[in-house]
């Protein structure tokens, strides 16, 4: 994509999409780090134990639910 060919509205849309991508990447990195540190207590093998799997699943679900709750709360304040 040649950015010099974009008009102002297209540039704004492109910038907004890139910001959203960066936010998603940051959220995935935080989720991975937080849940890994909480759920994986030893040296991982070639598969997660059932307790590790359940912990990771629950942790990720709670993290995403809280992220959505916080985003909705911020949107309602605007």
Kindly report, residue by residue over 5-28, the tens digit of the pLDDT.
667 888 888 888 999 899 889 988
The residue that leads in pLDDT, 2 or 52, is 52
CB 32 within 8 A of CB 63: no
Position 66 pLDDT exceeds 80: yes
Place of tokens 């993290």: 63
The pLDDT, as a whole number, for residue 57 is 95
Over residues 41-62, mean pLDDT: 92
Q: What's the CA gap between 22 and 3, in Å, rounded?
A: 19
**Distances in whole angstroms, Cα of residue 38 to Cα of each of 3, 23, 67, 76:** 43, 22, 18, 31
The pLDDT, as a whole number, for residue 5 is 61
Percent of the chain whose predicted confidence (pLDDT) is above 70:
92
Place of tokens 């598969």: 47
Place of tokens 């359940």: 54
């Amino acid at each position: 994509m040649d950015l010099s060919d974009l008009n102002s509205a297209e540039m704004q849309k492109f910038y907004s999409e890139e910001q959203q991508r960066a936010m998603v990447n940051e959220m995935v990195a935080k989720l991975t780090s937080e849940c890994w540190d909480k759920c994986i207590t030893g040296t991982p093998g070639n598969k997660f134990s059932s307790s590790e799997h359940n912990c990771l699943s629950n942790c990720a679900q709670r993290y995403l639910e809280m992220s959505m709750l916080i985003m909705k709360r911020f949107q309602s304040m605007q």
